[in-house]
Structure 1
Amino acid sequence: MENGIRNQGLAWQAAIVDLDGTMVDTVGDFEAALNRMLDELCLPHVDRGFIERTVGKGSEHLIRTTLAHVGAAVALYDPAWTAYQRHYLSINGEHSAVYPGVVEGLRRLRACGLPLACLTNKPTAFARPLLARKGLDGFFAEVFGGDAFERKKPDPLPLQMTCRALGSEPSRTLIIGDSSNDARAARAAGCPVVLVSYGYNHGEPVAAAGADAVIDRLDALPLASVLA
């Protein structure tokens, strides 16, 4: 393990990495799936700006917020959810791209001997195929989606359960994400957290999310000094 990875003198034991907005830019996938869903329901489209502000809290929240945004009846949620799942699975990864520096950053973390987990609010059935399609699945010992536990981020439970699966202590498990969801969950779970500057933070400045550090690329993670 790289000697520079330290948490107040203690070596990191593991790292947990978010997916959407952290490793993969998936707004194009969301846009395609949501607008096909809306076409099926004869509703107006949503744009990328709305999606960037809305994603990150799970697909259920995304669908409900989208329906409210276009003025649709709440009763349309069930058919909307069914249509969205079908369309998303049909295009998953087709309109998305891995951010620069992600593969290199994951390689650096693995080279330090850290077991890695991907923890996302995206449904597991969407997350696993996306990681595989983008060639990222081999980096992770564990993959947990938003339906893996009783609650989603920003609740600390998913982080606590993921630490348990990795066999790591929360205080020695580095969280890497892109939004206040990740920062809030990490703080509540007792984990250190680093956020990337380019993701989807609900339209808010990521610098205000309360992370220990903000980086511009995953391979810019200062392994020799971060949080030292």
Structure 2
Amino acid sequence: MSTLPKIAVFDLDGTLAETAGDLIGTLNVLLLREGLPELPLADARDLIGAGAKALIRRGFEAAGKALTPERHEALFADFLEHYGAHLCDRSHLYPGVVEALDRLEAEGFRLAVCTNKVELHAVDLLDKLGIGGRFAAICGRATFPYSKPDPRHITLTIAKAGGDPARAVMVGDSRADIDAAKAAGIPVVAVTFGYTDTPVDRLGPDRVIGHFTELADAVAELVPPRA
């Protein structure tokens, strides 16, 4: 029997924190530099979820401009530079996050983050939001050779955090989170307030919650105490 602790793995953007203002704000800086119109935040939220490169590609497509691979790479570098200086201008934790983490830790869970965000930015943002030190591992897009929806992004995060993969749960907001967890054989809780162009209840998660006050009970149903 494994002596490793049970573990809860969280996505970041749209799950732990509302980050659309800073992400889309940076995208709009790039669009304006290219002579293109800004995208309204309400319309662009669902472009988030697959990392900065995908956000740039989707954003420019939405603005009516295709990018060459070379221009895409240059804009990616510009995005990282600007976003790194502005990643917590408007971003904030969702209500109830701190209390939910408190309860999970009190119930013996180790905590980790598995995000398609660049690891450096993920660590910096979580530190600025005041919760970075709570996670045994914060794994980003280039931490491993794999990223969500590849299930190895989650399983390697669990291993890095020292958690028990047989008593793990994923918490996320997107198809990438849900598909990666299901492929890894790990139950997944989906939040309804994140970034997705398809309602999460249609994507096959094990549980759906609309507020972090519901998380601990949902997790308890999926990861029962050791017999």
Q: What TM-score results when the alignment is normalised by the length of structure 2? A: 0.89
Aligned partners of 1:209 and 1:167: how far apart in 2? 29
Check if 1:139 corresponds to 2:134.
Answer: yes
Q: Which is further off, 106-115 or 68-77? A: 68-77
Structure 2: tracts of 5 or more residues without a match:
none
Instruction: Give the drift of 1:73.
Output: 3.9
Check if 1:13 corresponds to 2:6.
Answer: yes
Check if 1:104 corresponds to 2:105.
Answer: no
Partner of 1:206: 200
What pairs with 1:121-200 in structure 2 (closer than 5 Å)?
A: 121-200=116-195
Instruction: Give the drift of 1:66.
Output: 1.4
Give 3-state SS (helix, strand or coil) of 2:90's partner.
coil
What pairs with 1:84-123 in structure 2 (closer than 5 Å)?
A: 84-123=79-118
Q: Is the 8 A contact 2:24 2:45 kept in 1?
A: no
Instruction: Give the drift of 1:179.
Output: 1.6
What whole-Å deviation, never above 9, does each CA across 1:126-149 have from its counterpart, x for those lacking one? Answer: 111110111010210110011112
Aligned partners of 1:130 and 1:37: how far apart in 2? 21
Structure 1 residues 211 and 217: alpha-carbon distance in aligned structure 2, compared to 1, 3 A threshold: same
The residue type equivalent to 1:54 in the other structure is L
**RMSD across aligned C-alpha pairs, in angstroms?**
1.8
Aligned partners of 2:200 and 2:96: how far apart in 1? 19
| Identity across the alignment (%) | 37
Aligned partners of 1:77 and 1:128: how far apart in 2? 25
The residue type equivalent to 1:143 in the other structure is I
Instruction: Give the drift of 1:169.
Output: 3.6
Aligned partners of 2:204 and 2:218: how far apart in 1? 20
Partner of 2:29: 36
Partner of 1:8: none
Instruction: Give the drift of 1:225.
Output: 4.4
Partner of 1:78: 73
Aligned partners of 1:91 and 1:56: how far apart in 2? 18
Give 3-state SS (helix, strand or coil) of 1:74's partner.
coil
Aligned partners of 1:78 and 1:212: how far apart in 2? 37
Q: Is the 8 A contact 1:171 1:192 kept in 2?
A: no
Aligned partners of 1:96 and 1:57: how far apart in 2? 18
Aligned partners of 2:164 and 2:219: how far apart in 1? 20
The residue type equivalent to 2:209 in the other structure is I
Aligned partners of 1:22 and 1:209: how far apart in 2? 16
What whole-Å deviation, never above 9, does each CA across 1:144-170 have from its counterpart, x for those lacking one? Answer: 011112121111010111121133343
Q: What TM-score results when the alignment is normalised by the length of structure 1? A: 0.89
Aligned partners of 1:194 and 1:223: how far apart in 2? 7
Check if 1:23 corresponds to 2:16.
Answer: yes
The residue type equivalent to 2:207 in the other structure is A
Partner of 1:53: 46
Instruction: Give the drift of 1:62.
Output: 1.0
What whole-Å deviation, never above 9, does each CA across 1:186-223 have from its counterpart, x for those lacking one? Answer: 1100111111111112x211111211111122232206
Structure 1 residues 124 and 225: alpha-carbon distance in aligned structure 2, compared to 1, 3 A threshold: closer
Structure 1: tracts of 5 or more residues without a match:
1-10
Instruction: Give the drift of 1:224.
Output: 7.8
